Structures are given as C-alpha cells and as structure tokens.
C-alpha cells in the first residue's frame, strides 16, 4: 500500500493541537522559521505557466539549522508506472490577514478530509494528493497537516510535496524567482518529519526552466551544471531526512524562450547523469496560450516516455472568473490534448494555483473541483459527421467506436464578417482589491498567433451592489471613446495600429494588426468594490472570422496586478441547430443553407457532463 508515513507521534500531536492550536500556519516545531509571505512574480501570468505565488525577493530571515538528525520512517514505495496515475492538487483557503496576492482557494478544502466527505467516487480514482511547500509554510497548521496526512494514509493515497530546490540567488547576480527556495524547503521537510509525516514523493519545481532557460530581464541564466549541482546537493539534504523519498520533476512548456521536446531530452538526460537515477516522473506546466502547445506537448510526451519516465501535464484553467468557467476550460484543455491530438499521458494532475475554483465538494456538482476527477474517468465521445444541403448528420461514439446515446449536440458556424455584437464577461471582484483597469492585447500575454481588425464601440464595467440587484453606471472613464483615445494608453512599440474613429460623440477604437503583430492598450484605472458582482460589456465589430484579440480585466492591489480575467474577442458563433443523439448515437440537424457562407466550417460540439468529456469536431 502507498503510505504517507504518518506515525504514532502524529496522534500525540493531534491531541495536543486539539487543545488550542494556533490558526496560523506558523505553529510548527520550535526550530521552524517564519518567512515573508510570497508575492506574485513579475513574469507570472494567468495562462498556467507559473504558479504565481513564489517569493520574488530573498527571504529576510535565514532558515534555522535542523536541530534533530532523526530520519523519518520510509513510506511504502509508489508504483508510478500505473496508468492513469491521478493526482489532485487544490489550494487551501487563504489564512486571515494574509496578503491579497496569495490565492484564496477552496472554501471547503479542510472538509475534503472528513471521513464522510462527498467525494468517495473521486477518492477511489485518486493515486496522489499534492501540496505545494508554500502552503505548508504559509497556510497549514501542524494539526491540519497531521489530519491531511492521516486521511491520505487511511485511503491509500500518496502525499506528494511540490518544492523549489535551488538556493536563493545573490540579488546582485539575478532576481529571486520561482524555484529558488531550497533551504526553506529543507526546513519544511524537517517540520513534516518532526510531525511524523513522511511524504511519498517530492516534485521539484522547474529548476531547469527558471534556473537555466528563462531569458527575461533579471533571470539567472545559470549554466546547466550549476543548476544540477544545486539540485543534487538539495536532494542529498532532503534524503538525509527522508531517505526513501521519490523525487520527480516539473518543467515548463512556455515561450521564454520557446520550449521544444529537445529541451526535455537535455534536461532528463542531464538530470539522470547527475543524480544517478532518472526523475521518478516528469510533469509539464503548460502555458495554454502558446500557439501549437498540443503538438509540442505530444513531442515532449514521446521524448519523456522513450526514456522510461512517466509523463503527464498539469491540467488547469487559465484564471477564469467562476468555478464553472475554470472547470470547463480545464476539461477543454484535457479534451484538446487527449481527444483531438492523441495525447496519452500516464500521469494526470488536476491542479490550481488560482482563487478559482473555490469549491471542492460535492463531487456530484459540476462547479466542484473534485467533479473533474470523475469526469476524467468518464466516457470520451467523438463525432462522425457530414454536412450537405442544409443537413448535418452523424453519430456520437466512444473511443472503442461504440455508440453513445443521450448526448447533447450543438451545431454552429461563425457569424458573417462585420457583425456587430455584444460580449459579456461576468464575475466577482476579489477581496482586498479596490482598483482595476481594462486592457486590450493582440499577440502578447493573452492573445497569440492571430490577425486583428476589431472596432470597439464601447467598453463598460458595471457593478451590482443594491439589494434588488440593480446595476449602476459604467465606471470606465471614456469607455464610449467619445473623447477619442483620451485616458487610453497606447504602447509606443506596438506593431499594429490603434486609432480613434467616429465623430460627434459617437466614437470607437479600431485595432488593426497583421498576423503575429503585437498590440497593447491599457485603459484608465477605476475604482471597484471588493466582493461585488460585475459585468464587463464590450460592444464590438469583428471584421472577419480570422480576427481575434483579448480584453483583460486586471485587478490591482496598490499598483500591482494580482489577478486578470480574460474575454476572447472574436466573431461570435451562429447556432445552426441542436439535438440529442438517439440510442444508436445518431443525430441530424437541419438548417437554412443561406446561413452557411462559402467555405465556412461547421462546428459540432458537446459540452460534456458529470459522466462524459466535452468534444468538438469541425466539418467543412
């Protein structure tokens, strides 16, 4: 059986903690040192390529030396070759008084560890539960850690710790980014050992990506040998505490610089030579906004598995504003990789480092994060379809080609060129945030590999605070562009054009960019109400189906952007019809052929549900 290695000491500490333990996350053994809370990295974004919560400057307090040389008991070995090996990694709620830059995760995180918690089906599918070490340092008390470890052990689920192994850099040499928390990770390990908790595995977070490859200003750009020397030294200290612990790897698929499968070949081969063993697994943190990410990830999968190392992506959303949107986006990433591009990962990690989702239970609710575990184990529909003479006809089948009945089917095509439309982004203002700004991006940050010919007639931000839900006026200064581009900041190095159009108070902002040309526009700051419901309403004309852009709503803590939600600006889909597949999996949708332009593509979709994946199929 896989065990986290909690011992009788844990039971004694639980009794002690129940007698009035602190609610803060710093009530560990006497030799545990509290360090400054982490802040969002300057280069982190909402696209899943960083966790965005690591310390960005060296800790002001040196880690204390470990006062005990006690070696923790060995856990039962893990069979990482099991497929799928499913790992769950949610975020706990942010402790009271913690900075707003830290994510505020599942409100019911601690209820996950009640013996009668409503996620028994998901638990039966689960192989690992991962906790990032910053959660140990900043979020979780001794009693909470003991309770979590005991629950996982009783349910035969491996405890995995995500950790940053490199030493904090000299500020005169380079910046403190992710992966540079090595001494504090050893301190965390000693704390776990002293609580009687032995993790089954550690996942080291991106030492190759952040220590060697990152090419942004302030990056360390160490030689690979130096990175490996620090990883090997850190692993030696860790195994002095946990001699039998498995050590796996997480590295990034990003564009800083662009990641290729060869990069993973270099890393795994060098790591294996330096450590004398391959990583126990290789997981990949994907920036979902990068064009071609599925093809690159498939290449990485082939490279990793050819070396006998278990492979898997970290599946998550991209900073969506609601639970349902985050979960739907995560399932879309899963479906895109595994259904549309043939990915076959042996490891699957469902992980968040955002404030969404904020619910884990019950597993029967589509807005609960545990629901994703069950959906991953569900049916995987695919479409067989043709379109001709105003009729779309086809079947829904599973991976074995067997028909699936009762599947909702939606048939759409893109709206005609130049259609004026209203796009809406809704959500809730994060707590402890009082300012925001709206921004437009093309081919940078939230929008990639597109052309743009977009006219924004107006953009509004409206909050609803009154008891009857009545909405107020827009808070965006010059959101109607009646005063041209006044208050809107157009970057000097834009590669596309941003112009004011219209007159007599009926203004608009037109954005044009060739394929790949970069455009950045920042709107004026405006006040927001913590916890208020909001709508961002964009009145826009998109010139054609190939035009894309992104409207971002950035929330500010002081002058630091702490969270961004994104609205895709594109030609809206036009519904041709909908139906439900019959018992033989068959479906037919009739439509007016005039609705379908010459050479247009018909999209056939199903959103998925508690037992089925989402699926999409295009027919020309």
CA distance 87 to 161: 11
Residue 578: pLDDT band with limits 50, 70, 90: very high
Phi/psi at 192 (5° precision): -60, -45
* pLDDT over threshold 80, residue 123: yes
Task: Produce one character per residue of 42-71: b if its CB has 16 or more CB atoms within 10 Å, e if not.
Answer: ebbbbbbbbbbbbbbebbeeebeebeeeee
**pLDDT at 132 (0 to 100):** 94
Mean pLDDT, range 188-195, rounded to an integer = 97
**Burial of residue 354, with CB atoms counted within 10 A of its CB: 0-12 exposed, 13-18 middle, 19 or more buried:** buried
In the chain, % of residues over pLDDT 90: 60
CA distance 367 to 48: 20
Residue 57: pLDDT band with limits 50, 70, 90: very low
**pLDDT at 191 (0 to 100):** 97
* pLDDT over threshold 90, residue 168: yes
Mean pLDDT, range 126-138, rounded to an integer = 94
Sign of CA dihedral 316, 319, 322, 328: negative
CA distance 456 to 541: 7
Phi/psi at 374 (5° precision): -70, -40
Tens digits of residue pLDDT in 414-455: 655 566 788 899 999 998 899 999 999 988 886 666 788 899
CA distance 370 to 358: 11
CB 617 within 8 A of CB 412: no
**pLDDT at 52 (0 to 100):** 45
- Which range of 20-29, 109-118, 454-463, 549-558 scores highest in mean pLDDT? It is 109-118
**pLDDT at 492 (0 to 100):** 87
CATH tag, 389-415+573-619: 2.60.40.10
In the 8-state DSSP scheme, what is residue 546? T
**Number of helices (H) and strands (E), helices first, in the chain?**
11, 26
Tens digits of residue pLDDT in 337-381: 998 899 999 999 999 988 889 999 999 999 999 999 999 988 889
Question: Where along the chain do its domains lie?
Answer: 8-376, 389-415+573-619, 420-443+451-559
* pLDDT over threshold 90, residue 465: no
**pLDDT at 447 (0 to 100):** 66
Q: For residue 422, give both structure tokens.
A: 């209203």
Angle between helices 261-275 and 224-241 (to 10 degrees): 50
CA distance 127 to 349: 10
**pLDDT at 142 (0 to 100):** 97
Tens digits of residue pLDDT in 75-105: 677 889 899 999 999 999 998 877 777 888 9
Per DSSP bridges, beta strands 420-428 and 128-132 are unpaired
CB-CB neighbours of 239 under 10 Å: 15
The pTM (predicted TM-score) of the whole model is 0.69
How many residues does this entry show for the chain? 620
- The third-level CATH classification (topology) of the domain covering 8-376 is TIM Barrel (3.20.20)
- Lowest mean pLDDT of 32-41, 169-178, 374-383, name the range: 32-41
CB 159 within 8 A of CB 79: no
Q: For residue 431, give both structure tokens.
A: 């707590």
Mean pLDDT, range 473-501, rounded to an integer = 91
Secondary structure, 3-state, 76-130: CCCCCCCCCEEEEECCCCCCCCCCCCCCCCCCCHHHHHCCCCCCHHHHHHCCEEE
**pLDDT at 59 (0 to 100):** 44
Q: Which of 608, 573, 601 has the alpha carbon at shortest distance from 396?
A: 608
């Amino acid at each position: 059986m896989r065990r986290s290695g909690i011992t009788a000491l844990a039971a004694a500490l639980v009794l002690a903690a129940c007698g009035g333990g602190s609610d803060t996350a710093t009530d560990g053994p006497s030799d545990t040192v509290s360090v400054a809370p982490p802040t969002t990295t300057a280069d982190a974004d909402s696209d899943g390529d960083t966790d965005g919560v690591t310390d960005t400057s060296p800790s002001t307090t040196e880690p204390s030396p470990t006062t005990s040389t006690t070696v923790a008991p060995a856990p039962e070995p893990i069979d990482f070759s099991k497929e799928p090996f499913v790992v769950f990694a949610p975020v706990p709620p942010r402790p009271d008084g913690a900075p707003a830059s830290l994510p505020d995760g599942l409100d019911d995180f601690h209820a996950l560890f009640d013996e009668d918690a409503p996620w028994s089906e998901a638990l039966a599918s689960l192989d690992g539960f991962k906790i990032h070490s910053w959660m140990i340092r900043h979020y979780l008390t001794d009693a909470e850690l003991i309770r979590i470890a005991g629950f996982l052990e009783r349910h035969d689920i491996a405890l995995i710790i995500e950790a940053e192994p490199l030493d904090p850099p000299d500020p005169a040499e380079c910046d403190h980014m992710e992966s540079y928390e090595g001494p504090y990770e050893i301190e965390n390990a000693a704390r776990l050992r002293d609580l009687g908790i032995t993790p089954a595995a550690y996942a080291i977070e991106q030492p190759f990506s952040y220590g060697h490859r990152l090419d942004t200003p302030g990056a360390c750009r160490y030689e690979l040998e130096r990175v490996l020397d620090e990883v090997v030294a850190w692993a030696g200290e860790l195994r002095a505490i946990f001699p039998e612990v498995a050590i796996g790897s997480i590295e990034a698929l990003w564009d800083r610089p662009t990641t290729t499968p060869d990069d993973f070949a270099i890393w795994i081969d060098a790591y294996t030579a330096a450590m004398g063993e391959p990583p126990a697994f290789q997981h990949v943190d994907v920036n979902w906004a990068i064009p071609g990410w599925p093809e690159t990830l498939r290449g990485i999968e082939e490279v990793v598995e050819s070396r006998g190392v278990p492979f898997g992506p970290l599946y998550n959303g991209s900073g969506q504003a609601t639970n349902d949107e985050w979960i739907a986006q995560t399932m879309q990433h899963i479906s895109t990789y595994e259904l549309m591009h043939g990915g076959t990962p042996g490891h699957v990690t469902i992980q968040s480092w955002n404030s969404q989702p904020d619910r884990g239970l019950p597993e029967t609710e589509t807005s609960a994060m545990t629901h994703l575990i069950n959906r991953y184990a569900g049916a995987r529909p695919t479409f067989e379809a043709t379109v001709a003479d105003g009729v779309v006809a086809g079947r829904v089948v599973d991976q074995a080609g067997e028909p699936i009945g009762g599947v909702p089917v939606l048939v759409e095509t893109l709206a005609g060129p130049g259609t004026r439309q209203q796009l809406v982004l809704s959500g809730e203002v994060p707590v402890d945030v009082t300012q925001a700004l709206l921004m437009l991006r093309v081919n940078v940050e939230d929008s990639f590999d597109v052309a743009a010919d977009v006219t924004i007639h107006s953009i509004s931000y409206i909050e609803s605070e009154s008891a009857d839900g009545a909405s107020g006026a827009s808070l965006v200064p010059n959101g109607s562009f009646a005063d041209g581009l006044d208050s809107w900041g157009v970057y000097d190095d834009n590669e596309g054009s941003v112009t004011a159009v219209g007159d007599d108070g009926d203004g608009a902002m037109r954005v044009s960019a060739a394929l790949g040309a970069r455009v950045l526009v920042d709107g004026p700051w405006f006040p927001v109400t913590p916890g208020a419901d909001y709508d961002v309403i964009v009145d826009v004309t998109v010139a054609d189906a190939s035009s894309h852009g992104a409207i971002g709503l950035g929330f500010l803590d002081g002058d630091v952007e702490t969270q961004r939600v994104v609205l895709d600006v594109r030609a809206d889909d036009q519904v041709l019809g909908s139906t439900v597949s019959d018992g033989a999996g068959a479906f037919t949708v009739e439509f007016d052929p005039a609705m379908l332009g010459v050479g247009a593509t018909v999209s056939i979709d199903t959103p998925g549900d508690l037992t089925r994946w989402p699926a999409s199929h295009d027919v020309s």
